[in-house]
Structure 1
Amino acid sequence: MPVFMNIAEQTSACIKQDLSRAKSSSGEVDIFPWITAAALELVGEAGLGYSFGSFTGQRNEYNIAIKSVLRLMSQVAPYAKILPSLCNLGTAGFRRWAVRYIPIAIVQRLRYAVAVQNEQAEEVLRARQLLLSSGGDLCAEAGRGRDIMSLLMISNESEGSENHIDRQGMIGHMNTFVFAGHETTSTFVSRILSLLADLPRVQVKLREEVQSYFEEHEDESNHDALLELPYLDAVVRETLRLYTPVTQLVRINQKDTILPLQYPIRTPNGKVSNIPVKAGTRIVTSLHMANRYGKIWGERADEFWPDRWIGSKLDEVTESGTHLPGVYSAMMSFGAGSSSCIGFKFALLEIKVMVAVMVKSFKFEPSQHNPSQWETVGVQFPFLKSDPTGIERNPKLPLRVIEL
């Protein structure tokens, strides 16, 4: 928790610096770069035991490579329709060779950025292994030796060959953790702040709860109780329901099966209660629609209503006690089953701490001059309405920010 609070406070300080440079206690600030920087730094320190230097202004090649990959991945979205067929073409080695000859400039730029990212991950891994092998003091490093990657490397050294992870596997874990824990959480925190700007009554109620908590726990360094604040929890859950960062899940059916329908389909030939599904079928689940389905969520399914979560058990939140089989709450925003998001508790901790510190420090209002709109590019991103719809856009979320 101290790492999370420290980075959230650094983010607050950076936004205050933006305001001070404008010689004002209020003004329009593009909050998205700062929220993204915080998410990346949290993943670095708590996940890799490594600081990306997100708030220092110093050049960091790994940081630059990751940002390049994220930006280029959003720009390569227009070609997403051909990706599933390419992903099933030959072996992984063949695909790595073949992608070098795809005559699309953005794909080649992405390939180069990924190569640079892997090189930088290799450097981070080498330095971490050298520190471990020499008996260095991990407590002096970012993450204080309790980061996920250090624990994994220590376990890797002590386990037998059956559980050993090779070097490429470790690099893969690093890059996967960075992407899984960075992109979705930064956009989600930004979405909450955008919603609070549009819903001042919700923002005021949340601020009162958060400020009351910090006044009562002013001298504490461990803020675990922050995670239990009922209205903060309700705002996070309701935003996750209405505006899940990943709007759909894709799965491949492993064997022939019969899919039962909780809500049968009526056709001219009668009622369909189940659907046969052959092995190898690609199944797309719309989380966006499932989280807004009126038969599950009731008449207020499309309404942002955090109070639905206050004092309610899971079988009381939804209409007639129906809930989706997800790992979190009554929805599938973090997935379900063995392929669900293994880092969802990490993400929730990050989200709640960031939102609490931001709401305690600032009042947010919608931008009057540079309004944004949210678009799904793999993950939901904010873009300026005034920006052209080409692939070279960068996500931005200007809000009017008032220092408290």
Structure 2
Amino acid sequence: MGLFAALGLFAVSWIAWKLLRHRLLPSPLNNIPGPASVSFLGGVYSKLFNNDAWEFHKYLYQTFDNTLLIEGILGEKELFTYDPKALHHIFVKDQNVFEESDQFIHVNTLLFGPGLLGTLGEQHRKQRKMLNPVFSIAHMREMVPIFYSIGYKLRNAFLNKIQNGPQEIEVVSWMTRTALELICQSGLGTSFDTLVDDTPPHPYATSAKTLIPTLSGPAMRYVTAFLLPRVSQIGPASFRRWVVNIFPWKTAHDVRDIIDVLHNTSVEIFESKMAALAQGDKALADQIGQGKDIMSILMRANMSASTEESLSRDELIGQMSSLMFAAMDTTSSALARLLHLLSLNQDVQDKLRQEINEAREAEGGDLPYDIIAHLPYLDAICRETLRLYPPLPLARRVARQDTILPLTTPIKGRDGKEIREVAVHKGTKVIIGIMASNINPKLWGPDANEWKPERWLSSLPEEVIAAHLPGVYSNLMTFIGGSRACIGFKFSQLEMKVILSLLVQSFRFSPSKAEIAWQTTGIVVPKVVGSDAKAPQLPLVVARA
């Protein structure tokens, strides 16, 4: 009995230490100013990560320097930064030090398997090396006909809706369906959606759309933050599933069912492709992607790779849902935002339509990659929208060892002294202000918070160039940078430009009477103010152009 009592006391002490060590141990971050904690349990998370956090974000940017202290769950000290030199160290120079958190890796491995989103270090590097050629410009050129064919289906669906005159259309659901079908055909060589009105959704589409809302509840956030990283490796997968099955929590069962659909669909597609590969090039050419889709090319390359560089079956399957999920919600969010902004700025919409019409007339039809990728005004609108409204406004990293983080702009500590570099202890979580960097007035000027596509038609401010931001796209942090930068950012750009060009050429978009609020649910999505609908909503009035 004494032994059990001692073990129980040890367990309680260990848990208490884990929960309270952030309060009891001195931290080098304590001298850094930041917002006051709302509560011990949640710190300022309730303000920073809620659905309507924009005002709090604005408060942070206007009140504090570009590096500040954030109190997280149970008082944990976290660093929030968008200082250019700090970003360079986090994403490039010290990217092996500042890695994804265990929580991020465990959650993504559980959801999607050991693909790009669920791996670290050498395994991640190997996967990325195998995937990089698939996202080359040469391959993008071959994607254009697929993108147009899907774009025309979307256009026909809208034409059918407005055949009797202008109609209000909820466009975000159509953008999600389109983005999913784009990655289905060009990424996996399969099809989930005919893009015909009232078509029953594919089970994969339903599961993918409900994943983020299901994971976004307060209870599930605590489970993924604290419980999952500690129990995800206990016993075999069959044991962990048994525990989930017997635990009386509907949300956990919903997540389990979503994962099953995502995984089983990926396995079916993988096995179909393996069978086609075994039959030869003709069998691949008969599939929807004609053997030019991302997974067909990846699987062929993997078969000829050396043993050291080749990917396992689970890794290949893991890429499918990883690519599908990463490409669907972010692209649909960006497309919806573009259409909303064009509806609110009719002069911009008219100017864009004129550019597209003139280019199509000169080309005699659909625009090839080298033309549509470089239409000046279309490109400026896309860049400005992704600058001011990134679909993911925040990113996160954790320090895997003690390090020093230098700052471009010194900050003033709580003691009044200047801080030029921050000592970061192993295990410190870092929140990166993607949107904050993109709208930093010290770099972009006093109009940084205004949507002005024309700013991209002339030279960018010297401050932006001199900052040497590590983002892979247009001096922006939207697609981040370094070894974990968005591998498909060129793919996403091409998708948006093809779809937008077809829609703007054919239709005029105007605001509806509904008030729209863009919510920060991880990925930014639109909602109708006052509506009880759980799904994103963006009703716009659509008429023939």
Give the TM-score normalised by the residue count of structure 1: 0.91
Could you tell me which residue of structure 1 aligns to residue 541 of structure 2?
Answer: 400
Matches within 5 A, 1:2-401: 2-20=145-163, 23-24=164-165, 26-56=166-196, 63-79=202-218, 80-92=221-233, 94=235, 96-97=240-241, 98-100=243-245, 103-135=248-280, 136-219=282-365, 222-267=368-413, 268-312=415-459, 316=461, 318=463, 321-368=466-513, 370-388=514-532, 393-401=534-542
Per the TM alignment, residue 110 of structure 1 is displaced from its structure 2 partner at its CA by: 2.0
2: distance between equivalents of 1:130 and 1:56? Answer: 30
Q: What secondary structure, in the 3-state scheme, does the structure 2 residue paired with 1:143 have?
A: coil
CA contact (8 A) 2:435 2:477 kept: no
Per the TM alignment, residue 311 of structure 1 is displaced from its structure 2 partner at its CA by: 3.0
Q: What secondary structure, in the 3-state scheme, does the structure 2 residue paired with 1:273 have?
A: strand
Distance 1:41 1:318, change over 3 A: farther
Give the aligned CA root-mean-square deviation in angstroms.
Answer: 2.2
Distance 1:126 1:60, change over 3 A: farther
2: distance between equivalents of 1:171 and 1:328? Answer: 28
User: For residue 261 of structure 1, what is the amino acid of its counterpart?
Assistant: L
Distance 1:123 1:317, change over 3 A: farther
Distance 1:5 1:318, change over 3 A: farther
2: distance between equivalents of 1:122 and 1:381? Answer: 30
Mark the runs of 5 or more structure 1 residues left unpaired by the alignment.
none
CA contact (8 A) 1:73 1:110 kept: no
Mark the runs of 5 or more structure 2 residues left unpaired by the alignment.
1-143
CA contact (8 A) 1:260 1:273 kept: yes
> How many pairs align?
394
CA contact (8 A) 1:72 1:106 kept: no
User: For residue 38 of structure 1, what is the amino acid of its counterpart?
Assistant: T
Distance 1:375 1:260, change over 3 A: same
Give the TM-score normalised by the residue count of structure 2: 0.68
2: distance between equivalents of 1:252 and 1:259? Answer: 13
User: For residue 155 of structure 2, what is the amino acid of its counterpart?
Assistant: S
Deviations 1:165-220 (CA, angstroms, capped at 9, x unpaired): 22222221100010011110011111110011111121111111111111111245
Q: What secondary structure, in the 3-state scheme, does the structure 2 residue paired with 1:85 have?
A: helix
Per the TM alignment, residue 238 of structure 1 is displaced from its structure 2 partner at its CA by: 0.7
CA contact (8 A) 1:187 1:245 kept: yes
Per the TM alignment, residue 68 of structure 1 is displaced from its structure 2 partner at its CA by: 2.0
Per the TM alignment, residue 239 of structure 1 is displaced from its structure 2 partner at its CA by: 0.5
1: distance between equivalents of 2:192 and 2:234? Answer: 30
CA contact (8 A) 1:49 1:144 kept: yes
CA contact (8 A) 1:30 1:399 kept: yes
1: distance between equivalents of 2:226 and 2:324? Answer: 26
